[in-house]
Chain A
Amino acid sequence: MDLSELEKDNSGRCRLSSAVPAVCRQEPCVLGIDEAGRGPVLGPMVYAICYCPLSRLADLEGLKVADSKTLSESERERLFAKMEEDGEFVGWALDVLSPNLISTSMLGRVKYNLNSLSHDTAEGLVRFALDQGVNVTQVFADTVGPPEPYEKKLKQRFPGIEVTVKAKADALYPAVSAASICAKVARDQAVKSWRFVEELEELDTEYGSGYPNDPKTKAWLRKHVEPVFGFPQFVRFSWSTAQSLLEKEAEGVLWEDSPSEEQEGLARISSYFGASPRAVPRPPHRFFRERGLEPANML
């Protein structure tokens, strides 16, 4: 899988896709959606779709794309390569969502939580397949949050397509399992070849699985927390694991709209009854006020 796009800039999102097999434009197709890397505190989350003609579902099953959770990393890579070889009836596409994108979405002023980001990404991939002319008639997806609203949303977005959102979909439907393999292969490769934009000194890649409860991951986070900059962008700052470490180890940061400790400018009530009315100096002209400028009366 060619992740060079991601290596160029791993602070946003990047889309990879196979060519569209000709038969997928002619015959009615089933499309499976799944993700990889939803839980880890490190590295990207990957959303993937995989589609093939209904008539070739048996062949897809024949590829042994059983429930991807039961497969090892190398088995997944071998299977992915096999799907590529038999590419004349299987197509795929995926979005790699960088940790920075996840963090900035979740921590932005306008909250854009992980479920919404997931739903929108999945929907974007289905839209992408349709725009490429794939004749999608059925969509199967694993649940992200409660299945009903997600299924309802997908049905609204794609009228005329049969949508099924179910838990454990990757064990029930071969197209979802195949999508899950694509997502996992992409995530594993992205993590393995992660290029740190921060020139870290003693960079070690012993971060384990990236899951918050993995002791190796926790140790790696503790080792790489930086009091002013937090963490490398490989880390999802919006994860509570990361946040609690920052609270303990890092400096605070105040923004102009941070809840300010004291209400500036509230004069003491007694000052309004002072003997001489305070000669209120004329405020600086609007030109200066709008630019935060005032005469310097000391250096």
Chain B
Amino acid sequence: MLPEYLKNASKKMKNGLMFVKLVHPCSGEGAIYLFNMCLQQLFEIKVFKEKHHSWFINQSVQSGGLLHFATPMDPLFLLLYYLIKADKVGKFQPIDQVVMDDMFPNCILLLKLPELEKLLQHVTQEKEINGKKYYKYSKEKTLTWLGKKVHQTMAALKTNNVNVSARVQATTAFYSSDQDSSEKEEDYIRYAYGLISDYIPQELSDDLAKY
């Protein structure tokens, strides 16, 4: 399942859309992404996998009812993964020495992103020497950036009526009015934090929880 506007992307350029294997920023394992070379946009691919589904496709029945969804994803989550990893070196580095990965060589595609420098400003300190930029991971800036992400996610959860209540209840049940709003807010923050944490390393997720 792809957003409609991507349909012609693959027509415009030979390799308009590319499926690439990159790191999953939370688990560190490989995951499939879709790169749109024209708009330089990154999509994560999630697969709907449940037992006992088949397809009717035209005049046939096909087993293995998997459904792959391509959802736009902020590439900064991937850049962040490499910046944190490189932070052990503890000094400023050019970004093309940070984003390197022999497991997932296609990560260099991230360096082609049009607003790469703007993105990096959210999560790094930078220095410029002889016209060349050097970057260093900044936890403070990152936490501020993630805080914004959590609030944006909360807003989206509310508008999409996602059931976030901690108590297990039928998803169709509406909020019992007796639940006071601060508890509700708490549920939303916790839920949004949990979702964002699916895209950042465990250690940063712990810091974010405190933040």
Tell me the A residues contacting B by CB distance below 8 Å. Answer: 228, 251, 254-256, 258, 260, 264, 281-282, 284-288, 290-299
Contact = CB atoms under 8 A, between A and B. Distances in A.
Contacts of B48: 291-293
Contacts of A251: 61
B111 interface: no
A295 B24 contact: yes
B26 A288 contact: no
A73 B31 CA distance: 70
Contacts of A299: 19, 32, 45, 68
Contact of B31 (A228, A255, A258, A296): A296
B162 interface: yes
A288 B198 contact: yes
SS of B interface (majority): mixed
B46 A255 contact: no
B47 interface: yes
B86 to A, nearest CB: 22
B162 A294 contact: no
A19 to B, nearest CB: 44
B51 interface: yes
Contacts of B51: 254, 256, 260, 264
A204 to B, nearest CB: 22
A294 B32 CA distance: 11
Contact of B198 (A255, A256, A258, A285): A285
Contact of A287 (B24, B69, B191): B191
A281 B27 contact: yes
B45 A296 contact: yes
What 4 pairs across the A-B complex have the smallest Cβ distances?
Answer: A296-B47, A296-B45, A292-B50, A296-B32
A255 B198 CA distance: 31
A254 B53 CA distance: 8
A255 to B, nearest CB: 6
B114 interface: no
Nearest to B197: A285
Contacts of A254: 51-52
A296 B50 contact: no
Interface in B183-211: 191, 194-195, 197-198, 202
A298 B100 CA distance: 21
Nearest to B27: A281
Contacts of A288: 46, 198
A294 B197 contact: no
